Structure 1
């Protein structure tokens, strides 16, 4: 699954990567958590007749999808991820898979390697990033929830798939990555049904990501600084070099808001 991720690229980098006409300014975010706003790219912008350019817009949504039919969000589970293998047939995701496929802008994500069953070993966090850097697009779903008070809440979830060989030793799931050449097809919910884009829901190539062992400071949502992505030694190695270690930098200011 994907329970934390990061977007540290500049607005200009995100705009160019997704082919957006415009984008609002936003700060780097190093520890994005469920229920916080996430930046997604949707493909339903109306253009002038005869303008055949890619129609895309950047939108902020709450991370945690709420289907339109939910009566009381307080009694509904927080859907931050959707299994790509079954999403098209699940009541919670069926409409979004057909009508509201989106791209989630990210610089990478965090995952935890659990200790052996029965052991007292703590889960080990890893920062998982594209091996060559840059922005990455996760396959996502979006729903607009209409509360009884008449307001609107845009919500979203990230699609996951079985982990590739690089990440399998850490966790058995990973976000689905959509390559730039496939953006248009994934976002086209008018002519491309879920079965038409099912071939895109596969693990990223084994050499696409690299995993960096990081401090367990990332476990706390309140920690939002760049030091969260600094490499640290594996626990066994750390014992031999503990006298050389340096304390982590103090957390930066709250970054729950993009704008």
Structure 2
């Protein structure tokens, strides 16, 4: 799964990386701890040369609460085409969800969960596969009038297996445009564990557990003798 994200590269680098202009209301601020319900920077098939901001988490039709509790922040790529709540978005509303690194928690028997930062070595930002939904209706509330987005997940690759059995669909750079332009059948072929060897991970402190902690200290490596993934090698 993917329940926390970050995006903190300078605006100029972000626009150059994706060859797109940031048009999101309110400008751009580096974020180190983006939680469900917050804004995610996205690029859609409808505007591939623009970086906009959508709210993270699709509200299911059976929910009467737009808070964080019921938000569908992830969609399993293996079954997304079969789920009524995602069916229309899967057919026609793909997007790129931009990231400087996501976070995942490793469960250890008899111990507390240990958070890890997963990032792409050698690249300032990368894209995860997403789907978006237009706002349900008119609202004077800026957040409620934002489109919604969910991140697709798949089975873990070799790097992620020791941490979690799922991971977001991280798109190799060369297929980012294809994800936006392809039909559902072709996009389904792109929903696979990340094939590259340029993802890396290291253990961080539990500061990330609190979404109120949104600064550079969140991404600092945890300094102890078992930090990192060397124990799994």
How far is 1:125 from its partner?
A: 0.7
Residue 138 of structure 1 corresponds to 128
Question: What value does the CA root-mean-square deviation take over the aligned residues?
Answer: 2.2
**Aligned partner (choices 90, 96, 105) of residue 103 of structure 1:** 96
Render the CA deviation track for 1:124-157: whole Å, top value 9, x for unaligned. Answer: 1111111224111000010012237597430000
1:41 is matched with which residue: 29, 43, 52?
43
Tell me the secondary structure at the aligned position of residue 145 of structure 1. Answer: coil
State the alpha-carbon separation in 2 of the partners of residues 72 and 236 from structure 1. 42
Give matches, 1:36-75, under 5 Å. Answer: 36-45=38-47, 55-66=48-59, 70=61, 72-74=63-65
State the structure with more CA Rg: 1
Is the CA contact 2:32–2:215 (under 8 Å) kept in the aligned structure 1?
yes
- Which digits, 9 at most, give the CA deviation of each residue in 1:184-211, with x for residues without a partner? 22112xxx32112211111113522111
Give distance in 2, aligned partners of 1:27 and 1:152: 20
Q: State how far apart, in whole Å, the 2-side matches of 1:180 and 1:23 are.
A: 22
- Aligned residue for 1:11? 11
The residue that corresponds to 1:216 in the other structure is 206
What does residue 251 of structure 1 align with?
none
Q: How far did residue 93 of structure 1 move?
A: 0.9
TM-score, length-normalised on structure 1?
0.78
Specify every segment of 5 or more residues in structure 2 that has no aligned partner in the other structure, as ranges. 228-233
CA shift for structure 1 position 179:
2.2
Structure-2-length-normalised TM-score: 0.86
How big is each residue's C-alpha offset from its partner over 1:44-72, in whole Å with a ceiling of 9 and x where there is no partner? 13xxxxxxxxx4322211100136xx265
Q: 1:218, 1:149 → 2: CA distance?
A: 32
What is the number of residues matched between the two proteins? 220
Partners of 1:176 and 1:164 in 2: CA distance: 10
Task: Kindly indicate whether the alpha-carbon contact (under 8 Å) linking 1:66 and 1:143 is maintained by their aligned counterparts in 2.
Answer: no
User: In terms of mean alpha carbon deviation, does 148-157 or 135-144 score higher?
Assistant: 148-157
**Take 2:154 and 2:35, find their aligned partners in 1: how far apart are those partners?**
20
1:2 aligns with 2
